[in-house]
Structures are given as structure tokens and as C-alpha cells.
Amino acid sequence: MALIKNVGLIGKGLFGSAVLPALLDAGFTVTVFSRHEKNKDSLPTGVAHAVVDYSSVDGMTKAFRGQDALVSTIGFDSILAQKPMIDAAVEAGVKRFIPADYTSFSTDPAAAQLPQHLALTAVQKQLRDYAEAGRLEYTIVATGVFLEFLIDYGFAVNWKERSAQLWGEKGDYPVSVTSLAAAARAVGEVLRNPAQTRNRAVYVNELVVTQAQILRLGEEVAPEGTEWTVTRFEDPNAEFEKRLQAVLQRPEMDTIMALVVATLFSGKFKAQFAELDNELLGVELLPEAALRARVAAALK
């Protein structure tokens, strides 16, 4: 396929703010598309901005013309808004679409039908259908859980309360982890290597970690005498099912996030990627010292 030069970035939240400099560093000409003008003033020199209505295929078609690729970083609550975006991308002649489908296990058939993945898999199907028709190419960039979410948001250990709920006897189920910065660089490298990343998922991680490992590092870097409260879900399957039923009965952010944590740590799914595209996408594995430093910063 033709080389990609012009890239549209849809959304500029937490991950989008990391992706933008990565795209610029990779040499792309970038336009940021968002629903509001508020992001315009904070953009680097040379980055264009356009306001788009995510529900208007016609409006987005006009806005997307001239873009070789689109990278979506919209929030979890807006995943299905990508469907009209993809339709517009096709009509505008965009070559490659990267959906906002980074940290989950939506590409794992065993986990694809979990409630938090249904919108993601619906978008995947739309992309596959267009790809099979030869009208659009796509790449899903699977990064495992973002390092910042895992540590700073207390997914594995509650730093504020100095407590942890370990899944299983040892809390030793492995999880693939990637920082926002490395995940963003991987996005840029996908677009620099369009032939090798065409119409598939790519997999990267910087670390493979366990709850027990994170807790151990916390205990090592915490002030001497710090008291920790550690409990265990001795029956991970039962706790997972409890959280799944909670989402089915009340699909709100708190129940969904509890199920996401269960998906990561219950051992029911392969949270560690079996094969990696790190070499292709320039993502290096990090030593445990990098994880220790992140834990130490979270404990302050």
C-alpha cells in the first residue's frame, strides 16, 4: 500500500495526548479532530485542528478527506461512536483506521463476549467487513493494561489504604503491561510499517507483572513499619461470576471497572500475550527496577 503521511488523531484525552507527540516524532503531518474547540489552543505549532460531529457521517467525510490514516483515542463510553467514523473514513478514502481498542482482551475469543468488550467487538466486525471488501485497512494495537492505570489507579494494590485483594492463593496470574508513552510509540510505528501491520492485531508489552509482585515491591519501598492488609479471593471463579452478574444487572462504570479488574487478575483469561510484535514496533522490555520506581512514586 502507499506510504502514510497525513494522520488524523480523533480525541485528545489521556492517551491521545501521548499519541500526538509520538505521531509527530514519527514524522507524520497530524490533524486533531475533536468535538470542541477547547483543545485547539494547546496544540503544538504545525498541528491542525478541526471540530467534527461524531454522529454526522457527511460532516466527518468532508473533514477526513486528505487523511491517509485515522487514529481513534476516544473514551470507553464513546466506543460505538467509531462506527459512523469508520463509515466516514471509507467514504473519504482513508487508507488505515486504528480504533480505540488498546488495553482490553477484546481480541481473545474467550473474552470477546464479556460486557465490556461488546462495543469493541462490534467495531472490530465493521472493520473486518470493510477490509474484506477492500475498502479500508485496520490495525488493532493491543498493549495489555496501561502501566499508569495498573499502578496509579490502584487496580492491583490500594496504595492509599495500604491494602490488597489478591486473586487466588498467591496472586500470581501474569498480566501484560505497557506504559502510555510506549503504547503511543507503537501506534506511530504501526503507521510507519503499514504492510506488516495490515488488517490484524499487533501485540506489545513492556512488562509482565503479577499482583503479588506489585505488592512485594510496595512492601519493599514503603517506610519501615508500614502495616498492610492483605485478603484473598480464594475462589476467583465465584468472584468473577459475582462481578459479571453485577454488570449485567447494573452496567455502570463502577461495576464495569470491577469486572475489568477481575478479567485481568482472576486467571480465567490469558492476560499475558503469548506472542509479541515488540521488535517490529520498537517497544523494549523494561527491568523490574522500572516497575519499582513506579510503585515508589505511587506510594508517596
CA neighbor of 126 nearest in space, from 81, 92, 93, 186? 81
**Segment 143-153, tens digit of pLDDT:** 999 999 999 98
* CA neighbours closer than 13 Å in the CB half-sphere of residue 124: 20
Tell me the C-alpha distance between 139 and 191, whole Å.
Answer: 9
Whole-angstrom distance between the N-terminal and C-terminal Cα of the chain?
Answer: 49
- Beta strands (DSSP E) in 131-212 are 137-142, 145-146, 163-167, 175-178, 200-203, 207-209
What's the DSSP call for residue 158? Answer: B
Write down the number of H helices and E strands in the chain: 11, 12
Tens-digit pLDDT string for the chain (300 aa): 568 999 999 999 999 999 999 999 999 999 999 998 877 778 998 999 999 999 999 999 999 999 999 999 999 889 999 999 999 999 999 999 999 999 878 888 899 899 999 999 999 999 999 999 999 999 999 999 999 999 998 899 999 999 999 999 899 999 999 999 999 999 999 999 999 999 999 999 999 999 999 999 999 999 999 999 999 999 999 999 999 999 999 999 999 999 999 999 999 998 999 999 999 999 999 999 999 999 999 998
pLDDT, tens only, 240-278: 999 999 999 999 999 999 999 999 999 999 899 999 999
pTM, rounded to two decimals: 0.95
Helices 14-25 and 180-192: crossing angle in degrees, nearest 10, is: 50
Edge-first strand order for the sheet with 96-98 is: 48-51, 29-34, 6-10, 69-72, 96-98, 137-142, 200-203
- CA 131 vs. chain centroid, Å, equals 22
Burial 161-176 (b: 16+ CB within 10 A, else e): ebebbbbbeebebbbb
β 29-34/6-10 pair status: parallel
CA dihedral 97, 78, 34, 14 (to 10 degrees): -90
Q: Which residues, including other chains, have CB under 8 Å from residue 141's CB and lie 6 or more apart?
A: 98, 101, 102, 183, 186, 187, 190, 201, 202, 204
- Coil vs helix vs strand at 268: coil
Residue 81 DSSP code: G
pLDDT at residue 154 in the model? 87
For 153-190, the pLDDT digits (tens) are: 889 999 999 999 999 989 999 999 999 999 999 999 99
